[in-house]
Structure 1
Amino acid sequence: MTPKQKLYIARHLAKLGIDIIEAGFPASNKADLENVKLIAHEVGNTVVDSDGHIPVICGLARCNKNDIDKAWEALKYAKFPRIHIFIATSEIHMKYKLKMSKEEVIEKARTMVAYARSLGCIDVQFSPEDAGRSEREFLYEILAEAIQEGATTLCIPDTVGYNWPREFGQLIADIRANTPGVENVIISTHCHNDLGMATANTLEGAYSGARQVEVTINGIGERAGNASLEEVEKYSGMLVQPHKAIVGANAFAHESGIHELGYDFEGKELNDLFWRFKSVAEMKKVITNDDLMALVSN
């Protein structure tokens, strides 16, 4: 998307009442850094309703100083900036992707959360990537360290869409029950849709005590996507299936009843209009209100 399109969407998310907008990954490239900075300036300081709502503007960062510096460079202009730091915690990711031991991962997480706080960012979110496949006791330990260093939100991702709802709900419940200091922070869900379970997992996470849920416009995300907020196919280029709930074209369709338009017919007159309507429907896929009014006036 262009910077203009991203800003347009961010403004409407703010109007919708979204609490936190994760605007991008500033360290990924200069364009993304500038986009996040623009949203931080324009949306992160603008009251959009009578309640005085201004959303938190968030940026993503890996567990290294360069990423965190870039994130803060872009976010510091917002009234409520947040840095979202992540590092993998599953055995398979630590061994083959990070090539780091558990101790090294904990140390990296601990020091980078502290570093983000040292820059002046008082709102730091920490994510143990691939939490759904991480060893529980290790997860409790690294989350406790992040809390101790000043993390304010713990995001629990099902990074590869591996979990089923009951399983993911239990994960959230276990973290709440076993992580020292967890009562002082907010737990968030972050669910991918590889098994078609992202929304169900998100709901189970909320039922189990998560107070923040991470969702995306149109469900856009890696592979099968993320839990979906709503659809903006005009900019994304990803077509929405007609029968999709809430936003699909069929969700606004109904059996044609001319009295919805202020007309009232009965008996033979209604039957005649109905058969003329059926004739038009055989030739046109979509019948508009204008078509119905033309039928009545003919």
Structure 2
Amino acid sequence: MSNTDYYSKNELMNFIDTKPLDIEICDVTLRDGEQTPGVAFTKEEKIDLAMELDAIGVEVIEAGFPVVSSSEKEIVKEISNMGLNSNICCLARSVISDVDAAIDCDVDIVSIFIAMSDLHLKFKYHKSCADVFSCAMSSIEHAKDHGLKVRFAAEDGTRTDVETLKKAFIAAEEYKVDYVSIADTIGILSPATTHYLVSEINKVVNTPICIHCHDDLGMATANTLVAAEAGAKQLHTTVNGIGERAGNASLEELLVALRVQHGIERYDTTKLTGISNKLQEYSGLPIAVNKSVVGKHAFTHESGIHVMAILEEPRTYELFSPEMVGGKRNLIVGKHTGKKALKGIVEDLGYNLENDELCDLILKVKNCTEVKKGLSRERLETLIQTVQSHQR
């Protein structure tokens, strides 16, 4: 147990699957994340985020969709040639010209997608499954002929007949695809259905399976973790869980869950709060204060019982330390703060109050108009100094 990890592997043995997971992360913030309504990253912002993801240890970065525009293509190519440790991926439709754009960008991996669900075939393609599959295989063959690794992705895969999905992935293996990918495009999965689907695909293919989850039902991160437990290798994420509609599986939540639940510690989680803050700045999208791992309140404590316990042993009310994810603990004085907790917070700030001073302080705290939202450190220190001056 490192000095930033509170949890003990032995304490979790009764709850977790101890079988080692063979996984890699593919972060799609620069592509799917940018499809968030109102979000458009500059070239400099994309490059900065790519460098941050590489520093965390993310194995694959999906840098964009080159055919969208000449500027998008230029950015993807520049990221591809930055010399990062991460492999660089881009998206392509099942169209030869899209694959050519990927080839021009010097990417390591191209993700070639088609939808095979009845809904998409009828209302988007107006073609048969056989026709769209044939286009996909031609594109895959073209990409492989030009030395690219290929991820064959089934858009809306979770509303595609399972047998159709199996047959498509088996056939794609004959074209030597490097990955087959299940996209939960509308976020319909639950942990139970995720486990079933990935397990079923895993029975019939030898190619690594990818899982791409959306958060329409609030289960994207959970579904991604379960997919890994069922045998999926490549797990797709975005920073802060941004993405179309309700977003995607959250990078920070997944990396911490993999560390806590499965002992995967090769990612530098101390950089998670930093990249989260950058993403908020670049996207203009603030995260909820109670967001797991990186939210303002993730390590904030107000309840008197909690504060007293935290001051003595942080493990009582924190699963992992704020330092593990590059965050900071915040002890709040509010309406639930008792005298003992207040004394501990005051001492933690470096002050030593007599009993009368403490009683005076708690009265001032309770009558303070800001107490409902919690007093800032600066406001509390002002009250402490006021009490001390009155007692002299």
Q: Which TM-score band applies after superposition, normalised by the shorter structure?
A: 0.7 to 0.9
Distance, in Å, in 1 between the alignment partners of 2:297 and 2:243 is: 24
Corresponding residue for 2:38?
A: none
Distance, in Å, in 2 between the alignment partners of 1:3 and 1:41 is: 14
How many angstroms does 1:60 deviate by? Answer: 0.5
With CA pairs under 8 Å and 6+ residues apart, which has the higher RCO, 1 or 2? 2
Change (3 A) 1:210 1:282: same
Q: Where does 1:89-128 land on structure 2 (aligned, <5 Å)?
A: 89-121=116-148, 123-128=149-154
Distance, in Å, in 1 between the alignment partners of 2:350 and 2:294 is: 26
Corresponding residue for 1:271?
A: 359
Q: Where does 1:1-298 land on structure 2 (aligned, <5 Å)?
A: 1-42=41-82, 45-46=83-84, 54-76=85-107, 81-121=108-148, 123-178=149-204, 182-183=205-206, 185-230=207-252, 231=276, 232-255=279-302, 256=332, 257-265=345-353, 267-280=355-368, 282=370, 285=373, 287-298=375-386
Aligned-partner residue type, residue 240 of structure 2: N
Residues 6-56 of structure 1, C-alpha deviations (whole Å, 9 max, x = no match): 1111111111111111111011111211121222222xx14xxxxxxx111
Percent of paired sites with the same residue: 39
Distance, in Å, in 1 between the alignment partners of 2:164 and 2:383 is: 69
Distance, in Å, in 2 between the alignment partners of 1:26 and 1:120 is: 18
Could you tell me the TM-score, scaled by structure 2's length? 0.67
Distance, in Å, in 1 between the alignment partners of 2:351 and 2:357 is: 12
Deviates more, 1:228-237 or 1:168-177: 228-237
Structure 1 unaligned spans of 5+:
47-53
> 2:50 is paired with a residue of what secondary structure?
helix
Distance, in Å, in 2 between the alignment partners of 1:126 and 1:291 is: 56
How many angstroms does 1:139 deviate by? Answer: 1.0
Change (3 A) 1:293 1:211: same
- C-alpha RMSD over aligned residues: 2.1
Change (3 A) 1:295 1:162: same
Corresponding residue for 2:22?
A: none
How many angstroms does 1:283 deviate by? Answer: 7.1
Aligned-partner residue type, residue 29 of structure 1: S
How many angstroms does 1:236 deviate by? Answer: 1.1
Residues 199-245 of structure 1, C-alpha deviations (whole Å, 9 max, x = no match): 22212212211122101122222222111224421111122111222
Aligned-partner residue type, residue 134 of structure 1: T
Structure 2 unaligned spans of 5+:
1-40, 253-275, 303-331, 333-344, 387-392
Aligned-partner residue type, residue 89 of structure 1: M
Distance, in Å, in 1 between the alignment partners of 2:65 and 2:197 is: 27
Change (3 A) 1:264 1:152: farther
Whether the 8 Å CA contact 1:63–1:108 is kept in 2: the answer is yes
Distance, in Å, in 2 between the alignment partners of 1:289 and 1:234 is: 25
Whether the 8 Å CA contact 1:59–1:75 is kept in 2: the answer is no
Whether the 8 Å CA contact 1:89–1:129 is kept in 2: the answer is yes
Residues paired across the two proteins, number = 280
> 2:301 is paired with a residue of what secondary structure?
coil
Distance, in Å, in 2 between the alignment partners of 1:91 and 1:9 is: 37
Could you tell me the TM-score, scaled by structure 1's length? 0.86
Deviates more, 1:204-213 or 1:194-203: 194-203
Whether the 8 Å CA contact 2:95–2:136 is kept in 1: the answer is no
> 1:250 is paired with a residue of what secondary structure?
coil
Whether the 8 Å CA contact 1:281–1:287 is kept in 2: the answer is no
Distance, in Å, in 1 between the alignment partners of 2:153 and 2:99 is: 14
Aligned-partner residue type, residue 301 of structure 2: H
